Structure formats: structure tokens, C-alpha cells
Structure 1
Amino acid sequence: MVQVLFVCLGNICRSPMAEAVLRQKIKDKGLSEQLVVDSAGTGDWHIGKPPHEGTRGILDNQGISYSGMKARQLHPDDFQQFTYIVCMDRSNESNVMNWEGASSKTSTVIRFMSLLPEESVEDVPDPYHTGNFDEVYRLVSSGCSKLLERIVQEQHLLTTM
């Protein structure tokens, strides 16, 4: 079982959006039995809260479920549990690499925007501060497609669709 963890700061905007989008793409490709997706934040102030209303609005408009999603904080066990840890920006990536448990990681850590080298930004902008959930969704949707292609190729997964 391949497991993917998206990480942002508070786990209410970017990482849950990416989690929901990738789950939908996995379902559409018939890979639900082979891939599991989750998200977490490096901060602890939103633990237990649902995704931000802006994230929920975009996902509702796209017909993508976020049912049952609640913010959680990154845990040292995540470094052994997840195959891929995908960080939404450079600050998250730095925090993840310095997190307790990171030194014994078996996960591959990826900065999300490295999946989209054609884009002019290095980080997925935080819509909690910018309010631009449409732009974040555009990047997340495109990047999740590239990430899924990479995972299918690297893990030799067979799609049924």
C-alpha cells in the first residue's frame, strides 16, 4: 500500500485541498485499493477542525468530497508510515526535514511545486493569507495529476480506468 501525506502549516487550506483532490484522482483511476492519502500541519492550532471554508467552497464547486477530514499535526511516526510526504512550501519542507523522527525517515519528501517546474512560483501560496483559493486549486489539481503519474510509474501501479 502506497501512502501519501500532504503537509502545510495549519492543515486547513492547502494540504486538505490536495488530500481531497488526490483522493478523487485516485478514485477516478481505480487506484483506491493501492493508495491512501492523508494530510497534516506543522502547527497545532487547528487540530480537529474541518477544512477552511474557502477550501470547502472550492471542493464543493468541483464536486470533490472532504467528508470526515479534520486537521491534525505531523507526528514522528508519519516518517515511517508514509511513502511520500509532500510539502506545500519551502518553509513546510524545512520544518518537516527538521521534525522529530525525520532523521529515521523512510519517506520520500517532495516540495509540491517541484512537480510543476513550468510554474513561476516555488511555493503553493497560502490562501489563508492571500484568499486566492482558485489559484491554489489550479496548482493543486495540476500538481496532483503529476504526482499521481509519478507514483504510478515509481511504484509500478496498475490503473483500472
Structure 2
Amino acid sequence: MIRVLFVCLGNICRSPMAEGLFLQGVQRKALEDRIEIDSCGVGDYHVGEPPDPRAQREAHQRDADISDLRGRVIRPDDFERFDYILCMDADNLSALRRMAPRDRRAHVGLLMDFSHEGTGVEIGDPYFGNTDNFEQVADQIAAGCQGLLEHIERREALG
């Protein structure tokens, strides 16, 4: 089982969209029994809350339903449990690296490092923006998720 954890600041916008869009790709390839997916935030601002309605709308427009997801904060055991812990921006990446034990199992990095756009690309936080910001972010997340799934299929010889 390959385990993937998507991380953003509060776990109500970017990371739940990534969880839903990545799950959609995993289901299309019938890999649900090989890949486990979750999302969380580095901050505990929205624990127990559903994703932002704008994030839900963008996911829904891409045929992914994230309405049943609830915010949670990253836990120390996540660094051992997951193979990939992927965040959306440099600030969250720095926070994760500070939290991560030296002997962690997980690869900790940016989601967009797996996209065809190249390494170091960040996905900005759309929370204080408008609907267009959410649409652009969802497009970036979809590209990152597609590249990640291709990477995992190659590396793990899935499919």
C-alpha cells in the first residue's frame, strides 16, 4: 500500500481538493486497493470543519466530491505512516520539515514538484481570494496530482 498525505495551512481549501482530485485519478486507474489518500493542515484552525464551499465547488466541477472530508491537523505519526507528504507552498514545506523527525519514512515535498511545470512551483492559498483564484488553484492541483500518479505508477510498477 502506497500512502499519500496532502497538506496545506488549514485543510479546508488546497489539500482537500488535492485529496479529492487525486482519489479521482486513482479510481479511474482502479488503484484504490493500492493507494491510500488523506489530507491535513499544519495549523489547527479548521479541525472538524468541511472544505470551503468554493473548494467543494471547484472539485465538484471536476467530478470529485469532497463534501464529506473534515479538517485535521498533521500528527507526528503521519511522518512514519505515509510514503509521500506533499504540501502546496514553501511556508508549509518549511513547517513540515521543522516538525519531521530526522529518521522519517515519508518523502516530504511540494506537490507541484511532480507536475510537468518543474520543481519549486507553489500553489498559492486561495482562501482570501475570489472564485477565479480557486479555479486556478484547482487547475494546478489537478496537474500536480496527475504527475504524482504517473510517478507512483512508474516507481511502484502499478497498473
Q: Mapping of 1:39-78 within 5 angstroms?
A: 39-78=39-78
Match of 2:156 in 1: 155
Q: Out of 119-128 and 48-57, give the one that drifted further.
A: 119-128
1:135 aligns with 2:136: yes
Q: Percent identity?
A: 38
Pick closer, same or farther for the CA change 1:9–1:155 going to 2, 3 Å: same
1:7, 1:88 within 8 Å by CA — same for their partners in 2? yes
CA distances 1:72-108 after superposition (whole Å, capped 9, x unpaired): 0000000000010001111111100101x43231001
CA contact (8 A) 1:83 1:107 kept: yes
Structure-1-length-normalised TM-score: 0.92
Q: Please, what TM-score do these two structures have when normalized by structure 2?
A: 0.93
Alignment of 1:6-85 (within 5 A): 6-85=6-85
Give a deviation string over 1:25-51, Cα, whole Å, max 9, x none. Answer: 000011011001000100001000000
Aligned to 1:79, the other structure's residue is in SS state helix
In the alignment, structure 1 segments of 5+ residues that lack a partner are none
State the 4+ residue runs in structure 1 displaced beyond 3 angstroms.
Answer: none
Query: Does 2:99 match 1:89?
Result: no
Question: Offset of 1:117 from its aligned partner?
Answer: 5.3
CA deviation after TM superposition for structure 1 residue 116, in Å: 2.9
Matched with 2:109 is 110
CA contact (8 A) 2:51 2:67 kept: no
1:67 deviates by: 4.3
8 Å Cα contact 1:96/1:102 also seen in 2: no
